[in-house]
Amino acid sequence: MTPKFFPLFSLVIASLLFSACLPIVSASSEAATLPAPVASTPTEQPIAPEPLPTEKPASKVPALPMESVTYENAEINLLMDLPATWTIGEPMVIGDRATQTVMSSPDNSTTVTLLINLWEPHNDLAAYVEVRQTAWEASGFTVLSSEEWILDNGQPVRVFIVETAEQNRAFFLLTPLDDRYLTLAGEGDLELVEQIALTLRFVSQ
């Protein structure tokens, strides 16, 4: 079976936030007698409890519900988990401003496409989202849901479920990467696509 791609991916390519109070002693109290000193008794020093062993915190990245492999994109320091049976295509250069990589299930019924493109203004997720939504509306797409996510490294992302004019549903994740933007688009089993998107993380060099 050959991959079935809906027009939404070509659209993505084209359309390119004590004080302490001290006692006062009067100078006129010369006749006052001082109390006899009281011998202090040594007190036992409390023994600090031994620290309990700490467990390594569990990863915040949810595991896929099947055997998985980790996809790495060194260009943007990205890691993402995929089902082990999936195929990862070769990166394709699109003009001089974008690259895309298509990943697909064995029967090509579910696909995830990563698009990395140069776009201005830089690091302006709201502006990028606005342009994408304008393009979707112009193509007859309907936004069914919209969410804001924050990745483990603090990276803000916007997530959308859209329906095309042909009533096909698709998943979109948008996030800024300095002078570029990442769009993760998926179709087919959208529950699985979202599970894959939740494993997205960026690592330091």
* Tokens encoding 126: 């709201």
- Cα-based distances in Å from 163 to 8, 17, 143, 196: 10, 27, 6, 20
Q: What pTM did the predictor assign?
A: 0.73
Domain boundaries, the chain: 63-202
The Cα–Cα gap between 154 and 60 comes to: 13
Q: How far apart are CA 173 and CA 148, in angstroms?
A: 10
Q: Give the fold, CATH level 3, of 63-202.
A: Protein Transport Mog1p; Chain A (3.40.1000)
Q: Please give the pLDDT value at position 61.
A: 78
- Report pLDDT digits (tens) over 93-131: 999 899 999 999 999 999 999 999 999 999 999 999 999
Q: What is the pLDDT of residue 41?
A: 53
Q: What pLDDT is recorded for position 204?
A: 76
pLDDT for 42 equals: 53
Which residues, given as ranges, of the chain have pLDDT below 70?
1-59, 205
How far apart are the C-alpha atoms of 196 and 121, rounded to whole Å? 28
